[in-house]
Chain A
Amino acid sequence: AQSVSQHNHHVILSEAASLELGCNYSYGGTVNLFWYVQYPGQHLQLLLKYFSGDPLVKGIKGFEAEFIKSKFSFNLRKPSVQWSDTAEYFCAVPFTGGGNKLTFGTGTQLKVEL
């Protein structure tokens, strides 16, 4: 079964610092990958997704992620974070066999300080 792991559980950055959050997946076949964000008190929102094609995916709010098949990774990046990026970030993959069900990573709590 597909699974994802996130290595950074808590990250604290100053505004304007660069961000990279790690995500590794376990499945070696066709891979669909997602990053979701959960702002404080709000629902999960899709940041970006990778299905196929260009391995560098651009998302909302200046986020991007790069799919590196050889490393089984899909790390999330942002060149310059803002205080409003404070949130929890989840990497996710669909269940093996499809059906639109998702398996989530453990999440990374990002705090951006002014």
Chain B
Amino acid sequence: KAGVTQTPRYLIKTRGQQVTLSCSPISGHRSVSWYQQTPGQGLQFLFEYFSETQRNKGNFPGRFSGRQFSNSRSEMNVSTLELGDSALYLCASSLHASGQETQYFGPGTRLLVL
């Protein structure tokens, strides 16, 4: 069974640009969660999608958004990039609900904002 895949793996952008990251969950998994990991703040929850609906949202500004498609694949978008958005962005999938059961993480997308 294929694991969680994330594309692209590495990305370099400049301040003010926008970026879209993609996540394909394990087949059959309907919940996808996104996380941001930085040396300063550690690992922080961004949001969770289930059946194309945002179910939970962390404490991030509106520049961070996401969506989920009918095949459970998910994208997250960051608009008007800031230097502080440089981070490893991780997505995780689970069968039904991220917080209630084992999550399976992808390898992450490393974003560098210059």
> Is A bound to B?
no
